[in-house]
Every structure is written in structure tokens, then in C-alpha cells.
Amino acid sequence: MSKVTAKKVQGNNAEIKKKKDSLLTMKEAITQASEIIEKTRHCLVATNGDDGYPNIKTMTNRKHDGFKTIWFATDTSSNRVQQLKRDKRACVYCLDAETAKGLMLVGDMEILHDIELKRMIWIKGEEKYNPLGVEDPEWCLLRFTAKRANVVDAMQNKGLTFEIE
């Protein structure tokens, strides 16, 4: 599991008490983040467009290592890859609609072409979209590495933002 550290709550005493009443504990936040990423098949992935505004796309959570690292796949010529070549910063949002719990991750996305990593992610049947298979140069991997998380439990009206090391 990734090592995480909580951000400090700042403000006057009344603000701090109000914030503490609406905060999840660190243990609750990590547990919920782990549960959400396990359940989430499709994530909303935001990258920055040419004009600096966010662009959001649904992408399949192909593989993950806890909630620190998530793997996606796409075409090398896609708008998403072109945006990431200019700006590697990204945001991934995962939602458990049944429990109204959400996980927002902020971090960096890498574009990878390593054949062994591609084999790790490849799903049989994708030849329909990538006729050359796992070695198709038009097919690449995106590895997202989270730096910060925000977990929200809407039913309890609680959340927590924390750094991920």
C-alpha cells in the first residue's frame, strides 16, 4: 500500500472545529479510497487542453496498484496523448455510485510504449481495435501516479484530502 500523509487543517478555532466535524479519519479515508478503486472499472480522466482548460474522458481502469498507480490504454494519435505530451498533469475521478463515495486523484500521467508492460495490460480480443496486437505502435499505455487524494463520503457529508508519497 502507498504511504500517505494527511494535510493539516488550518484556520481559526471555529473553522477548525467545523472542518474536523466534516473530516473522515485517515484510516477511514484510506479504506474508502482502496474500496472505491477496487470497484471502479471506468474512471473519469482529466487532462489539460491546448487552451489550458480541462478535458474529461471516460477511460477503463486496466490495472492499479492501490490508488497510487492506475494503468490506462489508448491510441498514440489520440487527443489525450497529444495533451499529455504538452502537460503531464492529470486528474482521475472514481465514483462508487451505490454508496455515493468518490475518490479524486491528482498527479502525473506517463505515456509508455514498453512491450513487456503492454503485454501486462493487453486484453484478448483487442485485436479488433488494434490489428497488430500488443506490438501495434498506435497502441500505448498511460500510467497515472497520484500525488494527492480527496475522498468524499456524500452520505455522511464527510471527506479528507491527503498527500500520497
Task: State pTM to two decimals.
Answer: 0.87
DSSP string, the chain: ---EEEPPP-S-HHHHHHHHHTBPPHHHHHHHHHHHHHH-SEEEEEEE-TTS-EEEEEEE--EEETTTEEEEEEETTSHHHHHHHH--EEEEEEEETTTTEEEEEEEEEEEE--HHHHHHH--TTGGGT-TTGGG-TTEEEEEEEEEEEEEEETTTTEEEEEEE-
Catalogue all structural domains in the chain, each as residue range(s) with its CATH number: 4-164 (2.30.110.10)
Q: What is the pLDDT along the chain (165 residues), one digit of tens a residue?
A: 555 655 544 443 444 444 556 789 999 999 999 999 999 999 999 999 999 999 999 999 999 999 999 999 999 999 999 999 999 999 999 999 999 999 999 999 999 999 999 999 998 888 888 889 899 999 999 999 999 999 999 888 899 999 998
- pLDDT at residue 7, as a whole number: 54
* Residue pLDDT, tens place only, 77-109: 999 999 999 999 999 999 999 999 999 999 999
- pLDDT at residue 5, as a whole number: 55
